[in-house]
Amino acid sequence: MASVEQSTEVFARRPKRADARRNYDALIAAAREVFGEGGAGASLEQIARRAGVGIGTLYRNFPNRQDLFEAVYVEEVRALSDSAADLADLDPWDALVNWLHRFVAYAGTKRALAEELVHDSEVFRTCRTEIYAAGEPLLHRAQAAGVARPDAEFSDVVRLISGITAYQFASSAQRDRVLAIALDGLRPPPPPRA
């Protein structure tokens, strides 16, 4: 299965020189924060200021707003996907739950960008494939260990997480509590009583 980096043009624009790469990374980090705070309509000038670069540097890296949206989205998907490998040493249930908590954090950033992304674009489709490639094995591993419902599909889990992240919560503690309740439903049902 192709990775996000291999399948999109977004990473073709990544600078090779160390100083240019630092600017690129600073712009991605600043855009993630600014879009998270102010939505997709946030000022590009504000992003450049927060990154500590001039607006010309922003436009050299991202000729238009859509390029910046896509780059931030792809970076978020890449971090989420890479995090699955970081959890390999955990027991199957803990690995799945930890990754789903990261998925919830990712979905918060995605919500700010979702309106601006074309959902049938190559970038969006490839990123979706990358998320499934990272998360589905975690679910299958938990199912094989008998700690997750055998009838659950990863698309069910994605819908579960999407439903949770669609709402604004009073606090992150409340969001985490709701996620924990939902994840209890992902556990296998108790055996029937005799």
Return the domain boundaries, the chain: 11-63, 72-188
First to last CA, the chain: 46
**The two three-digit tokens of residue 184, written as one number:** 């209890």
CATH 2.160.20.70 fits 11-63, yes or no: no
Averaged pLDDT of the chain: 84
CATH of domain 72-188: 1.10.357.10
pLDDT band at residue 33, thresholds of 50, 70 and 90?
Answer: confident
pLDDT in tens, 130-164: 999 999 999 999 999 999 999 999 999 999 988 88
Q: What is the mean pLDDT of residues 82-105?
A: 93
Long-range CB contacts for residues 154-162, cutoff 8 Å, separation at least 24: 157/100, 157/186, 158/131, 158/132, 160/185, 160/186, 161/100, 161/103, 161/104, 161/107, 162/107
- Residue 111: its pLDDT value, please? 61
**The two three-digit tokens of residue 45, written as one number:** 């000038």
pLDDT at 37 over 60: yes
Residues 6+ apart with CB under 8 A from 80: 102, 103, 106, 131, 134
Count the neighbouring beta carbons within 10 Å of the beta carbon of residue 53: 19
